[in-house]
């Protein structure tokens, strides 16, 4: 693999040498896959969940020549969208001209497939013409059974899996769980960023997926590990970054993978031989300038009370007791009832997340760049 022009990938996987740590999580996923154990992977958004999956898939393809399918279902709204996303991912993996791809194309002719090209990305788009709800319910099991019958080991990662809970169809869990039990050659990784919903799907004794998967929870990368990785990446390109500057980056991003990679990526683009805190601050201001329009748009989407609470949460960074008199009076938030309604709305809009178990819950602003911008206003 050629050396990338910038070693800090943001939305794409660059290779093993440009991937930081996650050795424990990588080995656990590889072990589960080798044993054909399904895995639930939970991580807050922007912590590197998808990057970990692409890293593991890279290793599987290289070392075991294993077939891997990644399906991001965040934008799906119903069972038909999910079915089309899965079919498209299978079609992308197996070219239609030969072998399994040819068999797959013959198989999906039953569903009157339509091929098109995404105007933005140039990637192939595949949609199936399935109108009847009963037929739609059978299609995903049929697609998965087709894969299972090819007698090759396949791993499927369903990213943002909690999205199925928003579908109008309420039997998706049962459909997937039933077919999953019958598959011998397909292993699943169910990834999600909403802890409450993922816990409900996989840990509630009343739900179909109960006790069906091994569980893996992703946290921030260990600080010293990330510090050393950042230093090494810059040195590999003959740039020197001061230790104080690295610590400043990790403080600013709270160690969240996406924000750390984005900040390091933009700092690297400065092409300075020696990088200091001053360099970091210059880049931060550039990012704020670029994103200012989005931040003001957030302001327009919220009520004054919600915006006020968002500012308070940003200033505190992490709030464990948002309904106390101290917090409410400190930021002039009105009453606990107002805070409760506003907080629920911010969580629903995914501006704020609630994290931790029942005894150790905290609330924080989701977008760390937005949080830092609000702190500097």
* Domains detected in the chain: 22-217 (3.40.50.300), 225-296 (1.10.8.60), 302-377 (1.10.10.10)
Q: Cβ contacts of residue 88 below 8 Å, gap of 6+?
A: 124, 125, 126, 127
User: Among 26, 44, 75, which Cα is nearest to 259's?
Assistant: 44
For residue 292, the surrounding DSSP H or E stretch is: helix 277-301
pLDDT at 131: 65
pLDDT-based confidence at residue 106 (cuts at 50, 70, 90): confident
Residue 1 has pLDDT above 80, yes or no: no
pLDDT at 130: 72
Residue pair 94/111 in contact by the 8 Å Cβ criterion: no
Phi/psi at 238 (5° precision): 65, 25
Residue 54 has pLDDT above 90, yes or no: yes
pLDDT-based confidence at residue 126 (cuts at 50, 70, 90): confident
Distance CA 190, CA 56 (A): 14
pLDDT at 266: 98
CA 194: distance to chain centroid? 10
Residue with more model confidence, 204 or 97: 204
For residue 365, the surrounding DSSP H or E stretch is: strand 362-365
Q: What is the pLDDT of residues 237-261, one digit of tens each?
A: 999 999 999 999 999 999 999 999 9
Residue with more model confidence, 126 or 203: 203
Comparing 99-108, 296-305, 317-326, 329-338, the range with the smallest average pLDDT is 99-108
pLDDT at 219: 94
Residue 313 has pLDDT above 70, yes or no: yes
Distance CA 58, CA 52 (A): 10
This prediction has a pTM of 0.92
Residue pair 90/147 in contact by the 8 Å Cβ criterion: yes
pLDDT at 115: 74
Residue 358 has pLDDT above 70, yes or no: no
**Mean of all residue pLDDT scores within the chain:** 92
């Amino acid at each position: 693999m050629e050396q990338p022009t910038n070693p800090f990938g943001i939305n794409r996987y660059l290779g093993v040498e440009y991937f930081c740590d996650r050795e424990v999580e990588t080995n656990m996923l590889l072990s589960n896959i080798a044993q054909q154990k399904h895995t639930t992977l939970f991580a807050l958004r922007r912590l590197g969940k998808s990057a970990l999956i692409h890293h593991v898939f890279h290793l599987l393809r290289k070392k075991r020549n294993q077939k891997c399918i990644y399906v991001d279902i965040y934008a799906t709204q119903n069972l038909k969208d999910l079915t089309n996303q899965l079919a498209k991912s299978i079609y992308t993996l197996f070219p239609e001209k030969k072998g399994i791809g040819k068999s797959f194309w013959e198989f999906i002719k039953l569903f009157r497939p339509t091929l098109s090209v995404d105007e933005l990305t140039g990637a192939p788009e595949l949609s199936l013409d399935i109108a009847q709800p009963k037929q739609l319910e059978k299609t995903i099991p049929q697609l998965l059974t087709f894969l299972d019958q090819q007698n090759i080991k396949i791993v499927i990662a369903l990213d943002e899996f909690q999205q199925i809970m928003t579908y109008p169809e309420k039997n998706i869990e049962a459909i997937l769980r039933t077919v999953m039990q019958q598959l011998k050659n397909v292993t699943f990784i169910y990834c999600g960023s909403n802890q409450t919903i993922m816990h409900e799907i996989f840990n509630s004794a009343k739900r179909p997926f109960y006790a069906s998967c091994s569980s893996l929870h992703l946290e921030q990368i260990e600080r010293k590990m990330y510090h050393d990785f950042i230093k090494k990446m810059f040195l590999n390109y003959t740039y020197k970054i001061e230790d104080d500057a690295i610590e400043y980056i990790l403080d600013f991003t709270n160690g969240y993978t996406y924000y750390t990679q984005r900040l390091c990526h933009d700092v690297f683009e400065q092409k300075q031989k020696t990088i200091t805190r001053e360099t970091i601050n210059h880049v931060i201001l550039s990012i704020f300038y670029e994103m200012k329009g989005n931040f003001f748009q957030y302001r327009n989407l919220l009520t004054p009370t919600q915006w006020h609470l968002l500012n308070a949460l940003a200033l505190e960074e992490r709030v464990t007791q948002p309904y106390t008199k101290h917090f409410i009076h400190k930021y002039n938030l009105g009453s606990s009832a107002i805070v409760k309604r506003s907080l629920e709305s911010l969580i629903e809009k995914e501006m704020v997340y609630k994290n931790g178990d029942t005894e150790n819950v905290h609330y924080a602003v989701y977008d760390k760049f937005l949080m830092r911008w609000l702190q500097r206003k």
